[in-house]
Structure 1
Amino acid sequence: MKFVILAFLVGVAAAAPKPDYASVSSEEYGAKTLRREFIMEDDGRYNLDVETDNGILVAQSGSPDGPEGAVVKSGYFSWTAPDGTPVHVKFVADENGYQPESDHLPVAPEFPHPIPQFVLDQIEKARREDLDRSSEEYRVPTSYRAP
């Protein structure tokens, strides 16, 4: 019975229409594409450039130079925020993950950052409790002591 259900699901998945991403127009999403260039080389390298009439720019290139043929890519994208602020993001995606750079992204505090005193006090208290607990484990009970 499980095999029949699995075969049915595989058949349904195989028969599902495949989206044609090349034919998707940004006009469906409220913008007109002014420029769209996509070049794919035989060796897996590619370049993509897109510009829309609402100010969105995307440029990226990639190649299968990562571990086990993974695609390594880099590029940028930009748009205008609703408040009129231009937003620019540069990125690299490689064996170290996705690494965006932008003045508009939050930045974690520099490490090592100062540790508040109450945290240091709590750490010290836990250390002392661990020492007390370990010393209790090695104490000889009074009932076993020689007279």
Structure 2
Amino acid sequence: MKLIVLACLAAAALAAPTPDEGTSSSVERDERVDHGDGHFRYAFELDDGTAVEAVGRPREEGGISIEGSYRYVHPDGESVEVTYLADENGFQPSGDILPTPHPLPAHAIEQIRFAEEQRALGVTFE
């Protein structure tokens, strides 16, 4: 019985997937500071181009605001970076990879301009 269990464990170990060469990364930088009062900073970077940084500060109104960024290399080889602010207004990212809304069509822009012109003349809409 012990031999069967040992054989099964050995077979499972031999069948376990191994990472492909070049897919593992090593840490090049790892910094962490926490003052315990809401002030903190961390940063790490891997040799594959992945990096994360964040700085946290307590807010007078309570809570913490965090400013940070993360970067990685997209499978197509392009370096992608996103910066963000997280505070009472939520998570606010910015970066070229993030989707953006479609531009307004010309007729919608004209309607907005006309409505602003009417409001400036004192016209109210009910």
TM over 0.5: yes
The CA deviation at 1:109 is 2.7
Give structure 2 stretches of 5+ with no counterpart: 1-22, 109-126
Higher relative CO (Cα under 8 Å, sequence separation at least 6) belongs to 2
Match of 1:38 among 27, 32, 36: 32
| TM-score, reference length from structure 2 | 0.60
Runs of 4 or more consecutive aligned structure 1 residues displaced over 6 Å after TM superposition:
none
In structure 1, the residue matched to 2:86 is 93
Q: Which has the higher strand share?
A: 2
What percentage of residue pairs aligned between the two structures are identical?
33
What is the alpha-carbon root mean square deviation over aligned residues? 2.2
CA distance 1:44–1:96, shift in 2 (3 Å): same
CA distance 1:75–1:93, shift in 2 (3 Å): same
In structure 2, the residue matched to 1:16 is none
Instruction: Kindly indicate whether the alpha-carbon contact (under 8 Å) linking 1:37 and 1:49 is maintained by their aligned counterparts in 2.
Output: yes
Bigger Rg, which one: 1
Indicate yes or no: 2:82 matched with 1:60.
no
The CA deviation at 1:34 is 1.1
1:78-120 per-position Cα deviation (integer Å, ceiling 9, x unaligned): 11100001101010001111000001110013469856xxxxx
Count of matched residue positions in the alignment of Structure 1 and Structure 2:
86
Match of 2:75 among 78, 82, 94: 82
In structure 1, the residue matched to 2:98 is 105
Q: What is the alpha-carbon distance in structure 1 between the residues aligned to residue 34 and residue 24 of structure 2?
A: 27
The CA deviation at 1:57 is 0.9
1:117-141 per-position Cα deviation (integer Å, ceiling 9, x unaligned): xxxxxxxxxxxxxxxxxxxxxxxxx
